[in-house]
């Protein structure tokens, strides 16, 4: 009898195991499907979030057309109409060269880009390189209305510009705190690439604090893989709250979007916006030092425990820094109690203060920490309005230049190079006589490398003291040295 019970129990266990196994096999696909469905739902929610942000903010994103009259030609000679560039962006930056006999009127050139409303009464943030030298600016709104815009001011130093249209109660983009933005966060770019209005792309923040790009004098870019193409310039970079964290400004790569886009942090843009709106120009704080990044070996020699900070290489005579007692080889480790990571960061942060502001620097000197209070001066050659002003030396040379941006470099075959691009040459000027042409790239002045407009201006002034300016120029015929004598007046 007991044997019967054992057999029955064994059969029951076997049957139960079989049922459990079959149920397991049946539930595996269901569980996998459930996981897939959950992932799909997550993606759907993300897509809905992107769509909601685009719907909310697109009405505040505008298309911009900037028109410039090209001044009289600097080149004489015969031949057909010559334009080395094949789109409107290049027509805007570089003057057409035509035979004088064929030219009946001065041509107009048009650039297209983006911008976004930041107030209900028509203030718009965009890029200096789009509207900075424009004589006529028009804005197309989401409802297809086209309105004339006034350039309130622009800042070549950061590539930020402010324009204004006459409207009331228009939708606008709220501004976020870009300092709180983290690497890896989702961001959305909206703009008008290639004239395709209100194009929306998404990506993540790839990096922060990118500098030494050569786009502007003061660089602290947000890097993103959200697709940014020609025409996106000036449009907003948005967080998932639909607030602007940056202004799209540049692309790094061999052609079009290749996954590396740059945006001006909105906190930097806010400071410039307020000055341009109030004064039509930007003035910056000034220490009066030349600084460099801290090498770990050198820093250790001077008592620094890390390579974070900025080392003073030179103190300008009579500068605020000299008056405050800052010395060569001092290492600046803090500004206003906040750590200084490097030379570029220190320069950017000082520039954001208004002249006359007292700031506290923490320095390392002979291995000992010390605090110094400095009353900032006004940064030289700042405070010019949108179109900017050229120095007397530049006027004498007859050259008009701009910083070589990554966008222009990739289109002109100057990839990997830094310098200033010649945009115009005055007819009959010394530069004209020496054969310098629009589209040429100047990489050195008197054997000193120039990477942007600020370095160009400094180098030109210094070179003019000797009455001779030696330029290293790269153009269609290769690289050559050009010596120009600067006459005294």
Please identify every residue annotated as catalytic: 129, 159, 233
The tokens 């923040």 sit on which residue? 205
CA gap 225, 258 in Å, rounded: 8
Give the residue from 299, 247, 253, 294 showing the smallest Cα distance to 126.
247
If phi over 0 gives left and psi between -120 and 50 gives alpha, with beta otherwise, what is residue 230?
beta
Give the residue from 181, 154, 186 showing the smallest Cα distance to 64.
154
Backbone angles phi, psi at 178, to 5 degrees: -70, -20
CA gap 425, 83 in Å, rounded: 15
Structural tokens at position 390: 């050229």
CA gap 13, 16 in Å, rounded: 5
CA gap 113, 130 in Å, rounded: 7
CA gap 66, 335 in Å, rounded: 39
Parallel, antiparallel, or unpaired: how do β-strands 377-378 and 285-286 relate?
antiparallel
CA gap 70, 438 in Å, rounded: 12
Give the residue from 184, 170, 191 showing the smallest Cα distance to 244.
191
């Amino acid at each position: 009898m007991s044997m019967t019970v054992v057999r029955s129990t064994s059969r029951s266990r076997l049957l139960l195991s079989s049922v459990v196994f079959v149920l397991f096999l049946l539930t595996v696909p269901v569980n996998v499907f459930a996981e897939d469905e959950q992932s799909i739902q997550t993606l759907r929610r993300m897509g809905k979030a992107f769509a909601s942000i685009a719907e909310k903010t697109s009405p505040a994103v505008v298309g911009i057309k900037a028109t410039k009259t090209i001044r009289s030609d600097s080149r004489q000679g015969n031949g057909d109409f010559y334009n080395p560039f094949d789109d409107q962006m290049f027509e805007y930056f570089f003057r057409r060269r035509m035979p004088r006999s064929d030219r009946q009127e001065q041509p107009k050139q048009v650039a297209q880009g983006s911008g976004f409303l930041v107030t209900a009464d028509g203030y718009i943030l965009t890029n200096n390189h789009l509207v900075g030298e424009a004589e006529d600016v028009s804005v197309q709104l989401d409802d297809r209305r086209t309105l004339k815009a006034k350039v309130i001011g622009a800042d070549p130093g950061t590539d930020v510009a402010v324009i204004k249209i006459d409207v009331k109660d228009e939708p606008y983009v709220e501004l976020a705190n870009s300092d709180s933005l983290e690497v890896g966060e989702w961001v959305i770019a909206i703009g008008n690439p290639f004239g395709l209005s209100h194009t929306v792309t998404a990506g993540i923040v790839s990096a922060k604090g990118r500098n030494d790009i050569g786009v502007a004098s003061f660089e602290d870019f947000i890097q993103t893989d959200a697709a940014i193409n020609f025409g996106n310039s000036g449009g907003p970079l948005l967080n998932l709250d639909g607030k602007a964290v940056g202004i799209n400004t540049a692309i790094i790569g061999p052609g079009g979007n290749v996954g590396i886009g740059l945006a001006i942090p909105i906190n930097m843009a806010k400071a410039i916006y307020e000055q341009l709106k109030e004064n039509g120009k930007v003035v910056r704080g000034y220490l009066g030092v030349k600084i460099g990044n801290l090498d770990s070996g050198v820093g250790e020699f001077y008592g620094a425990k890390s390579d974070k900070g900025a080392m003073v290489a030179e103190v300008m005579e009579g500068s605020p820094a000299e008056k405050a007692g800052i010395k060569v080889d001092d290492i600046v480790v803090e500004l206003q109690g906040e750590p200084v990571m490097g030379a570029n960061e220190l320069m950017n942060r000082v520039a954001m203060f208004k002249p006359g502001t007292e700031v506290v620097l923490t320095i390392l000197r002979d291995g000992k920490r010390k605090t110094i209070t400095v009353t900032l001066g006004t940064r030289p050659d700042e405070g010019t309005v949108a179109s900017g002003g050229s120095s007397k030396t530049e006027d004498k040379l007859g050259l008009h230049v701009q910083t070589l941006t990554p966008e222009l470099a990739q289109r002109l075959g100057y990839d990997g190079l830094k310098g200033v691009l010649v945009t115009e040459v005055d007819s009959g000027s010394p530069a004209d006589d020496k054969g310098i042409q629009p589209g040429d790239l100047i990489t050195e002045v008197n054997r000193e490398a120039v990477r942007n407009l600020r370095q160009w201006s400094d180098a030109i002034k210094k070179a003019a003291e000797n009455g001779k300016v030696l330029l290293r120029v790269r153009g269609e015929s290769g690289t050559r040295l050009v010596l120009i004598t600067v006459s005294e007046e």
